[in-house]
Amino acid sequence: MPAHQLSLWPCGDAHAVFRLPGNGAYAAMSALCRLLQRGLLSGRPLCRLFPGQQDVCGVAPAVRSASSSSPVNLTYDVFDGKGESTPLVFLHGLFGSKSNFHSIAKSLVQRTGRKVLTVDARNHGNSPHNPVLTYEAMANDLKHLLAQLHIDKCILIGHSMGGKTAMTTALTQPALVERLVVVDISPAQSSTRTNFRYYIQAMQEMTISTDIPRSTARRMAEDQLRSLVKEHSVRQFLLTNLVEQNGHYAWRVNLEAISAHLDDIMSFPNFDTGYEGPTLFLGGASSAYISSDDYPEIQRLFPNADIQYIPDASHWIHADKPLDFISSIISFLQS
């Protein structure tokens, strides 16, 4: 994991904070949190393979666009456990990818024996691009993927934007979700007063020479982002999405769709009925993304929810405190 420094607001409800066993192995991520209210970015993707891990990757369709009215074929990685228990499915945040949870997935396979899937959302990673980017559409994509893989029931674990997709899936397709873990986000409506549109604008306006080394392309891209993206850590995070295709450099994320649906991403759909299954809202004690103001809506939609906080963790709990994050999931599975 990258070592960044995150600046976050203190958690307002110290009485709700509890201490999990173990200790974190990674430094906190950078100042993204104060820039993006309500936490919609995922941690920076990991780019490494794990020796000895039986790893099966879903292959992205050759065509990266799809009809807006139908689900897209999501790319995914499978970490194949030997046990027969319900599989775990991880959903990343905005501008993230399925690689974000690879190290977590490997550990959970080893400790639980369960199969673990990590999934690229539409318009992210290697999944197809589509002009629609709503939580209803992303939940429908996930339902389609699970049907393709003959998975009748799963345990959904979603971080930030992925947490909202997981909640939407549980609320619309409760039979698919045996248990739900929502990582540092809530079903509350989110503010859109961020600098995020400036970041998207800077990425859209970027031009990079062709047939140059990747390191040179990254430097050129960072220089062009600097005028609208002041923080070095934010630029480095965005640059994880810069890819080379036949000598040309482009963003692998669908900036047009993200820009057009930013209000949808920052918000959350309205639901009249709740999800009755066991649910864990897991927040960082140094993060304000799950606050006491959100508790009534959490209780209304998820009446069997437990709200817990990991001390000294920011919005990127899995990066800051991976051992505590894993322990909290395992405890929840055993409860």
The rounded distance, in Å, linking the Cα atoms of 258 and 256 is 6
- Which residue out of 30, 99, 103, 160 is catalytically annotated? 160
List the catalytic residue out of 4, 92, 315, 318.
315
> Of 184, 174, 173, which is closest to residue 278 (Cα–Cα)?
174
Q: Give the whole-angstrom CA distance, residue 138 versus residue 168.
A: 9
**Ramachandran quadrant class, 38 (left: phi over 0; alpha: psi -120 to 50; beta: rest):** left
Give the separation between CA 290 and CA 156, rounded to whole angstroms. 18
The torsion defined by the Cα of 202, 203, 205 and 209, in degrees rounded to 10, comes to 130
276 belongs to the catalytic site: no
- Catalytic residue list contains 150: no
| Given 231, 256, 297, 327, the catalytic residue | 256
At which residue do the structure tokens 């080394």 appear? 213
Instruction: From 204, 280, 275, 213, select the one nearest 244 (Cα to Cα).
Output: 213
Give the residue numbers annotated as catalytic, written as ranges. 160, 256, 315
